[in-house]
Amino acid sequence: MPPLDARSPRADGFVAELDAAGARRWVQSFGGSADDAVAGVAIDARGRVAVAATARDTVHVGATELTASGTADGLVAWWAADGTALAAVLVGGPDFDGLRAIAPAGERVVVAGFYSGAIRLGSRALTAGGGDDAFVAELDASGAIVGAWSIGGDGREEVTALAAIPGGFVAGVAHTAGARIDDAVLPRPPIR
């Protein structure tokens, strides 16, 4: 795929599979005319490669063209084990939103991100509490959100990492004040 502007300081993303000797098996690029940033890569139980990213403006993934609802949205895109582009979806609302992490969850993936204002994650409508809040969402390979968790509070909340474990996932969450993950309350860290 030729660049839109070879001298542009704005970045696109790419995903590649290399063999044990480091030789390229396949590579696919994605992005648009604005800055796009990759947050992570996961391989699901069927061998599909999924990428989490933050996309601004209009982004191209294979033959799919997606336009962010706001300044930026999270992007989840899948490729088959041979590099063929599969589904691609944006996750976001009318403000600046994006993704920070991804982990496999069987034949699905779990992504973590941030949002301002309001966002719809599947059947859940979330509203940030005055600044950025965070979320975790589970998506199937078609891009449908099948589960979502809200992470919010009086301060700043950020999911810094995700990892798969048997039967689920673990999320690393940083927060500056008391926080909540859905109905579970996390107290403010003690000041020493």
DSSP 35-98: --EEEEEEE-TTS-EEEEEEEEEEEEETTEEEEEEEEEEEEEEEE-TTS-EEEEEEE--SSB-E
**Cα gap 133→127, rounded to integer Å:** 8
Query: Tokens 């976001």, residue?
Result: 92
For residue 167, the SS3 value is coil
- Hey, what are 65's tokens? 């063209």
- Hey, what are 35's tokens? 């800055």
- Digitized pLDDT (tens) for each residue of the chain, 192 residues in all: 555 556 666 677 888 899 999 999 999 888 888 888 899 999 999 999 999 999 998 999 999 999 999 899 999 999 999 999 999 999 999 999 999 999 999 999 999 999 999 999 999 999 988 678 999 999 999 999 999 999 988 878 889 899 999 988 999 888 888 888 888 888 887 777
C-alpha distances (whole Å) from 51 to each of 6, 74, 76, 124, 136 are 24, 10, 6, 23, 15
167 in Cβ contact with 181 (< 8 Å): no
pLDDT value, residue 175: 82
- Hey, what are 148's tokens? 């979502």
Enumerate the domain spans of the chain.
13-186
What's at 152, amino acid-wise? Answer: G
pLDDT value, residue 10: 67
**Cα gap 84→153, rounded to integer Å:** 41
pLDDT value, residue 113: 95
**Cα gap 35→55, rounded to integer Å:** 7
